[in-house]
Chain A
């Protein structure tokens, strides 16, 4: 699954640690999602969408 997480994070000038704290996950999880090695669960995807105030499909898309 492709995602725009890194770009979205960059627009807010957040570090991976900042984003991890806001999502209550580890930095490793944020990094794995950004590098598309790990697809987040639906609850985490919703949390990300809520944080960036965007619909899920604008952040995540099928390859």
Chain B
């Protein structure tokens, strides 16, 4: 049997398939992200107002947002694995764009800060919040560019 015969006789590609709802995966991801953010804020509050707690308790409180964070990562990976090859390519291009863009923006802002040229919102360089925001914005732009490119 030749390769092409194998290709044309094996399995039936015309069979329908039940796609698991992508919306529920996105919703699950957002839910875990919201939970992680909520627990992170509670952790910050607890650490600020209970400085008398033992180091072990403080470490436990500090690490508490990691658990929903891991579930968020799991939901994110599942939705990535569920994508088809073009959607994955779009995401990879967008993530590459966001990564490189964030490094450039971060370096530029920090160099300016070192030289005493400060931005209104970032007087001491790009903080962790600024990095998250920049990455998210650049990822959004990257997804838009790649989606438009393959439209």
Chain A residues in contact with chain B, CB under 8 A? Answer: 21-26, 28-29, 31-32, 37-38, 40-41, 44, 46-47, 49-51, 53, 55-56
B84-A47 in contact (CB<8A): no
Task: Kindly state whether residue B14 has any CB partner on chain A within 8 Å.
Answer: yes
Can you spell out 5 A-B residue pairs with CB atoms less than 8 angstroms apart? Answer: A22-B14, A29-B85, A40-B85, A49-B4, A51-B13
Q: A28-B150, A49-B8 are in contact. List 12 more A-B contacts (CB 8 A).
A: A21-B16, A21-B17, A25-B85, A25-B86, A26-B87, A31-B151, A32-B150, A37-B149, A38-B150, A50-B7, A50-B10, A50-B11
- Give the chain A neighbours of B89 by CB distance below 8 A: 38
A28-B10 in contact (CB<8A): no
A23-B8 in contact (CB<8A): no
Q: Mark B111-142, 1 if CB is under 8 A from A, else 0.
A: 00000000000000000000000000000000
Counting chain A CB atoms within 10 Å of each CB, the highest count among B10, B19, B84 belongs to B84
Q: Once bound together, how far apart are the Cα atoms of A25 and B8, in whole Å? A: 19
Question: CB < 8 Å: which of B11, B13, B17, B86 contacts A28?
Answer: B86
Task: Tell whether A25 pairs with B84 under 8 Å between CB atoms, given A31-B151, A37-B149.
Answer: yes
- Give the chain A neighbours of B10 by CB distance below 8 A: 50
Give the residue name and chain of the A residue nearest to B13 (CB): A51
Q: Once bound together, how far apart are the Cα atoms of A31 and B149, in whole Å? A: 12
Q: Mark B1-25, 1 if CB is under 8 A from A, else 0.
A: 0001001101101101101000000
Q: Once bound together, how far apart are the Cα atoms of A10 and B134, in whole Å? A: 44
- Give the chain B neighbours of A24 by CB distance below 8 A: 17, 19, 84
- Give the chain B neighbours of A23 by CB distance below 8 A: 13
Q: Once bound together, how far apart are the Cα atoms of A10 and B48, in whole Å? A: 66
Q: Once bound together, how far apart are the Cα atoms of A44 and B13, in whole Å? A: 11
Q: Once bound together, how far apart are the Cα atoms of A59 and B16, in whole Å? A: 23
- Give the chain A neighbours of B13 by CB distance below 8 A: 22-23, 47, 50-51
Q: Once bound together, how far apart are the Cα atoms of A50 and B151, in whole Å? A: 25
B7-A49 in contact (CB<8A): yes
